[in-house]
Amino acid sequence: MSNLVRITVNQKEIEAQSGANLLQTLLDNGIETPHFCYHEALGPDGNCRMCMVEIEGQKRPQIACDTFVEDNMVISTKSDNIMAVKRSILELELINHPVDCPICDQAGECKLQEYYMEVGLYDSRLETPKVTHKKHIDLGSNVMLDQERCVLCERCARFTTSYTKTNELGIVGRGDHAKISTMPGKKLNNPYAMNVVDICPVGALTSKDFRFKQRVWFMTATPSICQSCAKGCNIYIDHNTLKYGTPVIHRYRPRKNLAVNGHFICDEGRLSFKEQNEDDFRGTYSRNLNINFKKAISKMQKLLKSESNHTLIVLSPSLLNEQIASVIQFSKIIGANVFCPLERYTDENFGDDILRSNDRASNRWTINALKIETDYNKFIDSLDSARLVINFNHKLLLNPERELSNKLTNKINVHFSEVECENRQDSEISFAYAPFSYVSGSTVNENGHLQQLNAALVPTEKKPDLLELIHIVSEKKVSHTNEQIWQNEMRDLEVFKNINFSKIPLGGLAFGESNV
């Protein structure tokens, strides 16, 4: 039951939900309110005291995270008084902080730095020694702990208690000798462990994988969607192009989407950025020999003509919507049946009741919505009468087991793959194409949520855009840009008819929602 009331913040009236958390309300309204221990996903803790605000009628400043919106509240976050309070709290946070920014990965995305610029800007008056602790403790799961930098906000401990329920972390000791620790001899060990690196507001918890690799202000953050499973967690792709070098993705970070993944992503998805950086492609092959791209194309087109009506297409359920639409159009032009067997994309051990899905296909929903054939036996039946098999990155055909492999030996195999094709020696032609971080497009997650991916890197000659490849192979009969695909090929598909691709919001569109 919504109960909107009016409150005044810094002399401006805003509408707010009665009883809502005041700090979250301020943050939602873009009012800068420094805080450490509060986190939207973990709730308030009330220990950092940084979020103090002035409330008319209250003798003392109050912490906003433990205050609830009431009608006619009058709040100041900017008065001289409250600024002095915030400055003094920040000063105390920094008293025992090593201030080793020059060697700290958090620099550039550190709350202590940020708040110092916002409410600090004072000269240190510390003349006595700081408390010291252990630095660079390997907690396991790619997380490094620096106990000195910790502001004891307890977010990480609360994460392992309430989110993953694995209880590895906690504050031990007392007073100013308190520090974050695990049980003696134990490590941080759960599938979401690296999220603590993001929720830590300072450089106490950092990614071992990212350690000393790149200063954050040199990176660009591109919003995209993780493709490791059907959950479709929202991510930022942090990347840059090294001077004189190649574009590199340095890490993924979670992107907040309350409708999909909340504030977190799993470690496996987080580390899957490495696959995007693989640069081992040497272009197009025929059997084990490198061949020139133009030759490969002409060879392909000859095959299509000679094996027309005896061609079978298999596509990966992790292709983007636009890529699927393009393949389907292509299949219609060459008169081939399209299959997407379920095999190889289900991992019973992967899914959990937090974020991870057993379905490792990122675009399963579209496969089902478009009624693409998924039955393995039907695929085998069709395979028997086919002569040319074109595989668009389906794992089953990239690495078939013996029985299927035997059947495929008598066929002409053509592969379009993101990674080095494993059975290159058996494929007549293998084309490499750029993985998802190189292109924009969209996928639909297992709950029918349509989400947009943005290109972080740029396709190259060796790793061209798949749409472009199909466009060329089909003698330009299939569209080659997202815009055209949505205007043409996807307009024919019932499920996507009412979507305006250029206006998909950053948070995605729920199934059935139209934005035309």
Partner 1 sequence: MIVKIVSKKFDIPNSHTLEVAKEHGAYSALDTALLKSPEDIINIITESGLRGKGGGGAPAGAKWSLMPKKSDKPHYLIVNGDESEPGTFKDRQILQYDPHLLIEGMIISAYAMNAHEAYIYIRGEYKFFIDRFQEAVDEAYAANILGDNSTLSHKVNITIHRGAGAYICGEKTALIESLEGKRGHPRLKPKRPEPEYYFGNPATVNNVETIATVPFIVENGASAYRQYGTEKSPGTMLFALSGQINNPGVYEMTYGSSLIEFINEIGGGVKNGKKLKAVIPGGASTPVLKADENLACVMLDYESMRSAGSALGTGGAIIMDEDTDMVEALKNLLEFYHHESCGQCTPCREGSGWVDNIVGAILDGVAQEKDLDTLLDVAKTMNGKTICVFAPAVAGVIEGFLKNFREEFENYISEGRFVKSPVEAVAEASCQTSLE
Partner 2 sequence: MSTFTFTPKNEEKFSNILKKYPHPQSLMLPSLWLAQEQEGFISTDAMEYIATKIEVAPIEVYRVVTFYTMFNLEKIAPYHIEVCKTLSCKLCGQGEILKYIEEKTANSDKFKISKVECMGACGGAPIMALNGVYHENLTTSKVDEILREIK
Given the complex with partner 2, which of 167 and 368 has the nearer CB atom?
Answer: 167
Which partner in partner 2, partner 1, none is near 52 (CB below 5 to 8 A by kind)? partner 1
Within residues 157-186, the interface with partner 2 by CB under 8 A covers 161, 167-174, 181-186
Encoded one letter per residue, x for contact with partner 1 by CB under 8 A and - for no contact, window 38-57 reads: --------xxxxx-x-----
Contacts for 236 with CB less than 8 Å, ≥ 6 apart:
221, 222, 223, 224, 252, 253, 254, 255
CA end-to-end distance (rounded Å), the chain? 30
How many residues touch partner 1 under the rule CB under 8 A: the total is 33
What is the spatial distance between Cα 496 and Cα 512, in angstroms, rounded to a whole number? 10
- Does 89 bind partner 1 (CB under 8 A)? Our answer is yes
- Shortest Cβ distance from residue 336 to partner 2 (Å)? 56
CB contact at 8 A, 233 and 307: no
What is the spatial distance between Cα 264 and Cα 252, in angstroms, rounded to a whole number? 11
Can you count the helices (H) and strands (E) in the chain?
15, 22
Which partner in partner 2, partner 1, none is near 181 (CB below 5 to 8 A by kind)? partner 2
Reported as type and span, the H/E element at residue 91 is helix 80-95
Which partner in partner 1, partner 2, none is near 151 (CB below 5 to 8 A by kind)? partner 1
Which partner in partner 2, partner 1, none is near 184 (CB below 5 to 8 A by kind)? partner 2
- Shortest Cβ distance from residue 166 to partner 1 (Å)? 19
What is the spatial distance between Cα 82 and Cα 199, in angstroms, rounded to a whole number? 26
- Shortest Cβ distance from residue 66 to partner 1 (Å)? 5
- Shortest Cβ distance from residue 348 to partner 1 (Å)? 38
Within residues 160-199, the interface with partner 1 by CB under 8 A covers 171, 173-178
In three-state secondary structure terms, 123 is: coil
What is the spatial distance between Cα 235 and Cα 447, in angstroms, rounded to a whole number? 17
Q: What is the DSSP letter of 21?
A: B
- Does 151 bind partner 1 (CB under 8 A)? Our answer is yes
CB contact at 8 A, 346 and 359: yes
Q: What is the DSSP letter of 501?
A: G
- Does 123 bind partner 1 (CB under 8 A)? Our answer is no
- Does 93 bind partner 1 (CB under 8 A)? Our answer is yes
CB contact at 8 A, 200 and 155: yes
Within residues 56-75, the interface with partner 1 by CB under 8 A covers 60-61, 66, 68
| Cα 314 versus chain centre, distance | 27
| Site residues (vs partner 1, CB under 8 A) | 46-50, 52, 60-61, 66, 68, 85, 88-89, 91-93, 95-96, 125-129, 131, 151-152, 171, 173-178
| Site residues (vs partner 2, CB under 8 A) | 161, 167-174, 181-186
